[in-house]
Amino acid sequence: MELVLITGMSGSGKSVALRALEDAGYYCVDNLPPELLLPFVQLEERVASRQLAIAMDVRSAKSLPQVPTQLHELRQRGVTVRSVFLDSTTDTLVRRFSETRRRHPLSGMRDTNPAQMNEASTLQKALVEAIELERELLADLREQALVIDTSVTRPAQLQAQVKEMLSAPDSQLTLVFESFAFKRGIPVDADYVFDVRMLPNPHYEPELRHLDGRDGPVIDYLKAAPEVERMGQHIEGFLTEWLPALARNQRSYVTVALGCTGGQHRSVYLVEKLARTFAPHWITLKRHRELENR
């Protein structure tokens, strides 16, 4: 049996991810109380279910601390467990709750007519505090999961990322390389962040500006720059040194983010290069945040 556990911040897209799993043939259950996780899996084993997807969130806050132990028990019983944690920046979550006028499950705010809200700043402060409390309550689950930053992700892109995760073989450690633009913020799912903005920038070459780091002319331009190759070697050396230690520490996923100014040329080129280098040794995925959001 394969079990996918979807957790994450309220407003980060768990329902979108669950729909992607349902489309992929998983039997999906939303907001299952942690107390029912083991009995539910046992029931599904008796009816020969092969693929389950369960969403849990902070509405089960009191019993969430049970979940890591339960997942360990399921793995001991031979169940393949994949855990996905959806995250977003606090500013993004505040905006989403404000736009939809939904109440955060930890906010404690009463339903109020927006026209009667004279203390908008107080309400926003309460929402931020609720989001930060939620981060604390979910920290242990986040630590054991593949983290996907949905701050600038469209629903279709998130569904594609979830399906890509399912296509990767179950392994002790999966390595994720991600390119991004610093001007749009550092991905909150990154375990390691490398700044490559000091490298030669193809953006300033008119014939390369409209291309990206996967195109031949840009590759040739960056390959010819010794500092670009040296940066790639330094990142490769760091990861080669420390990935085995992370694997021994039972890490399931490690996300390495490389950022440049626009997330189009230098970071994309290095992500592609590093993914090819490490693919023979680790389960390797790659993402190009800005290119996928075009």
Indicate the annotated binding residues for GTP.
57-60
Q: Rounded distance, CA 263 to CA 88, Å?
A: 19
* CA pseudo-torsion sign 273, 274, 275, 280: positive
| Binding site per annotation, positions for ATP | 8-15
Residue whose C-alpha is closest to residue 192's, from 158, 154, 162, 235: 235
Quickly tell me which residue has 């179950």 as its tokens.
Answer: 170
Contact 86/56 with Cβ under 8 angstroms? no
Give Cα separations from 193 to 17, 182, 240, 292 (angstroms): 25, 11, 16, 19
CA angle at residue 31 from 111 to 292, to 5 degrees? 90
125: how many CB neighbours lie within 10 A of its CB? Answer: 11
Strands 283-288 and 2-8 come out as unpaired
What SS3 state is found at 245? helix
Cα-flanking dihedrals φ and ψ of residue 106, to 5°? -105, 5
| Binding site per annotation, positions | 8-15, 57-60
